[in-house]
A = this chain, B = another copy of it.
Amino acid sequence: MFARILIANRGEIALRILRACRELGVQTVCVFSEEDRHARYLTLADHSVCIGPASPSQSYLRGDRIIAAAEVYNVDAIHPGYGFLAENPQFAEQCRDSKIQFIGPDAESMRLLGNKAEAKKLAKKAGVPTVPGSEDVIEDDEEAVTLARKIGYPVIIKAVAGGGGRGMRVAHNEANLRSALYQARMEAEAAFKDAAIYLEKMIERPRHVEVQIMADSKGNTLHLYERDCSVQRRFQKLIEESPSPALDERTRTELCKAAVRLCKTANYVNAGTVEFLVDQAHNYYFIEANTRIQVEHPVTEMITGHDLVQWQLRIAAGEELTLKQRDIIVNGAAIECRINAEDHAEGFRPCPGPVDVLYPPGGMGIRWDSYIVPGSRISPAYDSMIGKLIVHRPTREQAIRTLQWCLNELEIKPIKTTIPFHRAILSLPEFIDGQVDTGFVERSFINPPK
């Protein structure tokens, strides 16, 4: 095991990594920006070192400064956490060039799996379903009609240069499609001065289900089952849980195996996540891979009992996975609520500011992962997530009840947080019944039906 590592991150994930290191007996060096100088978690590190001003581009995103700190403190490895430099292959290479172990995959498999187009090709090679559609630009309407007939309606037409929904058109049948193609091209031309469009099957009311992977450098690749992150807003996850309440056993098994296949094909090492959309008929489609530890990893830790961040360190240190797939046993149900300093009633506007009062919940099966303490000041310079409330109970029903109670116990004042939003979501019959898709939050909270 490493003697000393550097934590190249801040906030709750920095504290999470600190905790993992302590149990392993690994010393820690934590870098920080001037804005974070007085953060309490820094006092728990063996060393902490200022690397720049508040702006991430001058501190947490400055690979050179982080590696300089790593060299000064003579660390064996760097844990990048999530965000910032975690999925930056150049940084992973810089680490390697400086003879410092990067705790994550190597730059090559990060590039392979991190690039959406590359990953989609790899998925096809590994026999993992992807969202069906045109490989290239659709030049001809008849080509579109043929393809749509093959992949099935509804289909979605997207502008190649597109973004933000512009140049996007949904077609539910052939007549629809012919007019939609024309409109989409016009819109794309107007918006992007580029009329090129392509076609994809539209996944209706999909669930977001992802598979946790752990792979060592000896060729062992395991999955730790799935997480369901369908409660999201603009691709920002808000609630994550495991097991998924909507997956049947067959789909669950296939999904997990597909994720392992994909990672093996990429020669992937360390912790990673393979994300899928699952439609109402239980068809699943690979969408992307995350080559790092995820925010929502505690959900998997709770139901399997395995410490994923410790395993990240072990694998990076060259240890072999002592676990076999059959040792990964799911126990009960776990749900995580991300507590953000945001006002959900005002479009989830970030609400940085002081934390004068903080009463975290506690008791059986409760986990509160947060770096804030009374007296903390939430900085506008960084992500608004300030804590993760995780509940692990024998059944999903119990977990929901306990989570509701914990959201009453948890008080954070005077800043606004997403606590009331979570209370609202958890009491909705759609959530309780496990019937939520990725559009649910927007339909229910952002643009509720009149």
Contacts and interface: CB of A to CB of B under 8 A. Distances in A.
B363 A44 contact: no
Contacts of A393: 23
A369 B373 contact: no
B359 A362 contact: no
A364 B398 contact: no
A360 interface: yes
A150 interface: no
Interface string A347-367: 000000000011110111011
Contact of A374 (B367, B374, B401, B408): B374
Nearest to A25: B401
Contact of A305 (B298, B301, B331, B409): B331
19 contacts: A19-B402, A22-B401, A22-B402, A22-B404, A22-B405, A23-B393, A23-B401, A23-B405, A25-B401, A44-B409, A298-B364, A302-B364, A305-B332, A305-B394, A360-B362, A362-B368, A362-B369, A363-B367, A374-B374
Interface residues of A, number: 38
Interface string A294-332: 000010011001010000000000000000000000011
A221 interface: no
B360 A16 contact: no
Nearest to A19: B363
Contacts of A401: 22-23, 25
| Interface SS of chain A | mixed
Nearest to A361: B19
A370 interface: yes
A102 to B, nearest CB: 23
Contacts of A357: 374
A40 interface: yes
Contacts of A373: 359
Given A23-B401, A401-B25, A364 B44 contact: no
Interface string A363-386: 110111110011000000000000
Nearest to A404: B22
A402 B393 CA distance: 22
A367 B364 contact: yes
Interface in A1-47: 15-16, 19, 22-23, 25, 40, 44
